[in-house]
Amino acid sequence: MTRQLLPISALLLGSAFLLFAGGINGLILPVRGTHEGFSALSLGLLGTGWAVGYIAGCYFSPRLVARVGHIRSFSVLSSAAAIALLLSLILLDPVWWIVLRAIAGFCFAGAAMIVESWLSDRASPSSRGRVFGVYTMINLVASTGGQMSLTLGDTTGFFFFALGAIFYCLALIPTAVSSTATPAPLVNVSIDLMSLWRLSPVALFGVLFVGISNSAFGTLSAVYAHAIGLDLTTVALFASIPILAGAVSQVPIGYLSDRFDRRGVLAGIAVLAIVADALFILFMPKAPWANLALVSLFGATVFAMYPVILAHANDHAPPGRAIEVSGGLLMVFGFGSIIGPLVAGVGMGRIGSEGLFLTSLVAHVILLAFTLWRMAMRAPVTGDAKGSFVFAPPARNATPETSALAHGQDDADKPA
């Protein structure tokens, strides 16, 4: 295993630095914005801006790479993300923050796609699964570490903006000095909504509402936790523990979805998510332990939905189209990510903190109802027709290249 990972260690290290910086960037803004008195709507629009930038990055990064190459493109994107974060400290204005957060989303999508393309090209078919697993775990740990680092200092000063920018710049070094050969061009993203709908209505409809729920929480969880009086350490845990819980829960959920109708498993997860949403809304617990326990249940459900939806869509996908389907679903998830923080921000501004989980509750109820209706309309995929559940990082941290790394890419599917 060490012999397989050593040649790509520079890429993995660069990715770890990138995700660590992203973890800081994603949490320092809502925490600092709350301190500055920005409205919940303004902070929600940070997530909307990030999602717009993310979608644009997935579309236009392949063109940038085709023009100037992988290393130069990665250097431009990482340095631009660092500049955007530092400008957020200078321009303490919510309108500027939304624009700068969109730039950060563009840069993250492009930089992550470049690293994943490199890893996909370097991984042999026999080692691809292990490489993808290591890459996923490194990113989860790095992203969580970036969020938790906020507990080590004063979030009202410049330190964490500078620290995040430093790690964006550190991500440049391993790839710049790596002797690893540059890979083929990036995956070109295309969205054919009608084709996705004919393939799997549950996947297309479900991933939109999962995007709404997950992005609302990812953007405004720190704002919610601060509003109910939690200390900074608990705020950071409140934002990071759900992602780890979602990663752990994928093991039993994947086992169940490989043996039963994936739509039924998705419906069961949605029921548990609705329970978590309702408990937050009805009781609004104040004790740190109660919030962390409840948000763990929330994360274990909502961050395991996307992999189940992806596996269900791939069960219906024709041979050789898994990467195209995954890329399309990620873009639809991105569209949901534009809507979710905006709706939740308006809800929190109008009715209070519970507006965050009310947004998730509505999204999960709609998802559950539609899934149950489709189960009554269409027989499940069974037996040899089903593929295998693939462990996946949170969709917010995934790109179309993630699918190429996870599943492999046949020569026929590679860009010319």
Give the residue extent of every domain in the chain. Answer: 2-183, 193-407
In the chain, what's the furthest Cα-to-Cα distance?
A: 58
Report the b/e string of 253-291 with b at 16+ CB within 10 A. bbebbeeebbbebbbbbbebbbbbbebbbeebbeebeeb
Sign, CA torsion 76/77/82/86: positive
CA angle, corner 375, sides to 370 and 376, nearest 5? Answer: 100
193-407 belongs to which CATH class? mainly alpha
SS3 180: coil
Range with top average pLDDT, 64-73, 106-115, 246-255, 337-346:
337-346
Q: What is the structure's pLDDT at 183? A: 65
Average pLDDT (180-209) is: 78
Q: What is the structure's pLDDT at 412? A: 37
Query: What proportion of the chain, given as a percentage, has pLDDT over 90?
Result: 50
Q: Are 64 and 186 in contact (CB under 8 A)?
A: no
Q: Are 200 and 370 in contact (CB under 8 A)?
A: no
pLDDT digits (tens, 9 = 90+) for 115-139: 887 777 776 666 666 777 788 888 8
CA contacts within 13 A on the Cβ side of 90: 7
**Owner of token pair 């130069």:** 72
Task: Tell whether the model's pLDDT for residue 410 goes beyond 50.
Answer: no
pLDDT digits (tens, 9 = 90+) for 200-252: 889 899 999 999 999 999 999 999 999 999 999 999 999 999 999 988 898 89
Q: Are 349 and 40 in contact (CB under 8 A)?
A: yes
Task: Tell whether the model's pLDDT for residue 409 goes beyond 70.
Answer: no
pLDDT digits (tens, 9 = 90+) for 11-44: 888 889 999 999 999 999 999 999 999 999 999 9
How far is C-alpha 272 from the chain's CA centre?
Answer: 21
Instruction: Kindly tell me the burial class for residue 44, based on how many C-beta atoms sit within 10 Å of its own C-beta (0-12, 13-18, 19 or more).
Output: buried
Instruction: Kindly tell me the burial class for residue 173, based on how many C-beta atoms sit within 10 Å of its own C-beta (0-12, 13-18, 19 or more).
Output: middle
2-183 belongs to which CATH class? mainly alpha
pLDDT digits (tens, 9 = 90+) for 260-293: 888 899 999 999 999 999 999 999 898 999 999 9
Q: What is the structure's pLDDT at 117? A: 79
Prediction pTM value: 0.87
Q: What is the structure's pLDDT at 312? A: 84
The yes-or-no answer to whether 2-183 and 193-407 have a common fold is: yes
